């Protein structure tokens, strides 16, 4: 099922919580809303589920409007599946009964069959008669997902589904869930504040801030071509340094960055986003910078480099290039995507 939001506005006590949200998820795609807490991402989810009315704009599934100003199809009639942050398993029912709970439209024999089938497909066959409080966090999460998926919803909503799990389990489950959803072809929208989670699950990611959708794009585009300073700042690491537009490139303290100057007037001062992978370590390079901090990360080391002009840079270097703090190392610029923003004050902000 295709999901479309068209300029959705939501307000609480005259304060606009959502200021015109628009995006589209195609059949079978997994979308994700990413943003700091309080940015309104959960409100978007609740508007789609039908728990919150919209003040303006529309929520459309396939070609049917399910929410509009003064018009809300009740949640129980939408046929949308949802997994809540705390899983909300019913404590007085065992696992099988929890999954059967949402299958009340089926006759009882089929109900049982479908529930067992769904549980089996998620590796939960041996926990059918166990009560929720006896399950581990990861198992509870899977049961919640099984309960939401068993009625075969055309659209699935996940509200911070992994936030109560520890980080290793979170990573493993997110990959498992993606495979499962892709296999079933379930259109999904998830909400999270964890970008690794978003990257590992979603086809398309929307970055939200203060009730606005900043950018709706693939992870690759968000990282390498952020639409604005906030997205650049929020997604991945990087620093913003100032540069001057020249013909064929932008000159920064370290040298000339090729490309990115096509639409800019030569001579303009701009801010340039430098990702750790835009700086390449090269022992032969004449250009050097001092190591002022290093963070060992296993396969690679993230160096924070200090330039003579006072700017900081990040460089991601394979881990066998082990340099000491204070040492000067050779670097080279190698940026495939030169991202510039109009000059904003005179700040040097490593993120």
Partner 1 sequence: MPVTPRTHWLRRTLPGPWFLVALAIALPAILAIGVVAGASFSPDTEVWPHLLEFVLPRVLSNTFWLVLGVAIITTILGTGLAWLTAVCEFPGRGIFAWALLLPLAIPGYVLGFVAIGLLEYAGPVQGFLREWLGPGGWLPPIRSRAGIIVVLSLTLYPYVYLVARSAFLTQGKRVLEVAQSVGFNSVQGFFKVALPMARPWIAGGVMLVVMETLADFGTVAVFNYDTLTTAIYHAWFGLFSVKAALQLASFLVLGVFIVVALEQWLRTRARYHPGKSPPGDRIRLGVRNRWLGFACCGLVLLLAFILPFTQLLIWAWRDVVGGGLDLRFWGFAWRSVSLSLTAAGTITVAALLLNYAMRLDPHPLSHLAGRIATLGYAMPGTVLAIGIFVPLAFVNNQLQAMLDFLFAANAPQLALQTGLATMLLAYLVRFLAVAHQPVAANMLRITPAIDESVRVLGVSGWAALRRVHFPMLRTGLLTAFALAFVDLMKEMPITLMTRPFGWETLAVRVFEMTSEGQWQQAALPACAIVLVGLLPVVILTRRSEHEA
Task: Write out the residues near partner 1 by the rule CB under 8 A.
Answer: 49, 51, 53, 70-82, 84-86, 88, 90-93, 101-102, 104-105, 147-148, 151
In the complex, what is the shortest distance from the CB of residue 259 to partner 1, in angstroms, rounded to a whole number? 49
Q: Which is nearer to partner 1, 147 or 294 (CB)?
A: 147
Q: Which is nearer to partner 1, 21 or 54 (CB)?
A: 54
Rounded Cα distance between 37 and 125, Å, is 36
Q: Which is nearer to partner 1, 74 or 345 (CB)?
A: 74
In the complex, what is the shortest distance from the CB of residue 36 to partner 1, in angstroms, rounded to a whole number? 22
In the complex, what is the shortest distance from the CB of residue 111 to partner 1, in angstroms, rounded to a whole number? 13
Q: Which of 34, 59, 17 is nearest to 158 (CA)?
A: 34
In the complex, what is the shortest distance from the CB of residue 73 to partner 1, in angstroms, rounded to a whole number? 6
Q: Tell me which H or E stretch contains 231.
A: helix 229-234
Q: Which is nearer to partner 1, 67 or 261 (CB)?
A: 67
Which DSSP state fits 276? Answer: G
User: Does residue 115 contact residue 125 with C-beta atoms inside 8 Å?
Assistant: no
3-state SS string over 15-53? EEEEEEEEEEECCCCEEEEECCCCCCHHHHHHHHHCCCC
In the complex, what is the shortest distance from the CB of residue 75 to partner 1, in angstroms, rounded to a whole number? 5
Q: Which of 200, 135, 134 is nearest to 167 (CA)?
A: 200
Could you tell me which residues are beta bridge partners of residue 120?
Answer: none
User: In Å, what is the CA distance from 345 to each residue of 186, 240, 251, 306, 351?
Assistant: 46, 12, 18, 21, 16
Q: Which is nearer to partner 1, 86 or 179 (CB)?
A: 86
Q: Which is nearer to partner 1, 80 or 128 (CB)?
A: 80
Which DSSP state fits 2? Answer: -
């Amino acid at each position: 099922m295709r999901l479309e939001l068209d300029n959705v506005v939501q307000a609480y006590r005259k304060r606009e919580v959502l200021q015109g949200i628009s995006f589209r998820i195609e059949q079978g795609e997994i979308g994700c809303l990413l943003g700091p807490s309080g940015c309104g991402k959960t409100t978007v989810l609740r508007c789609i589920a039908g728990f919150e009315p919209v003040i303006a704009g529309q929520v459309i599934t396939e070609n049917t409007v399910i929410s509009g100003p003064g018009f809300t199809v009740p949640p129980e009639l939408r046929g949308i599946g949802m997994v809540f942050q705390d899983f909300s398993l019913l404590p007085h029912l065992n696992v099988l009964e929890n999954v059967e709970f949402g299958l009340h439209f089926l006759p009882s024999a089929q109900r049982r069959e479908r529930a067992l089938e769904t549980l089996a497909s998620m590796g939960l066959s041996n926990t059918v008669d166990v009560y929720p409080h006896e399950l581990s966090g990861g198992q509870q999460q899977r049961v919640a997902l099984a309960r939401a998926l068993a009625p075969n919803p055309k659209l699935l909503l996940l509200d911070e589904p992994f936030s109560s799990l520890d980080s290793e389990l979170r990573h493993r489950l997110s990959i498992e869930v993606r495979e499962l959803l892709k296999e079933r072809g379930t259109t999904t929208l998830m909400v999270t504040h964890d970008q690794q989670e978003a990257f590992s699950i979603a086809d398309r990611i929307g970055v939200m801030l203060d009730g606005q959708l900043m950018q709706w794009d693939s992870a690759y585009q968000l990282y390498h071509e952020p639409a604005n300073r906030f997205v650049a700042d929020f997604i991945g690491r990087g620093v913003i340094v100032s540069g001057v537009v020249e013909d064929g490139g932008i000159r920064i303290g370290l040298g000339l960055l090729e490309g990115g100057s096509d639409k800019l007037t030569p001579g303009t001062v701009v801010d340039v986003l430098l990702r750790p992978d835009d700086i390449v370590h090269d022992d032969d390079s004449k250009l050097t910078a001092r190591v002022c901090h290093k963070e060992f990360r296993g396969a690679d080391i993230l160096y924070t480099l200090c330039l003579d002009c006072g700017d900081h840079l990040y460089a991601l270097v394979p881990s066998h290039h082990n340099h000491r703090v204070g040492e000067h190392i050779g670097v080279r610029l190698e940026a495939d995507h030169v991202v510039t923003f109009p000059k904003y004050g005179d700040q040097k902000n490593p993120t």
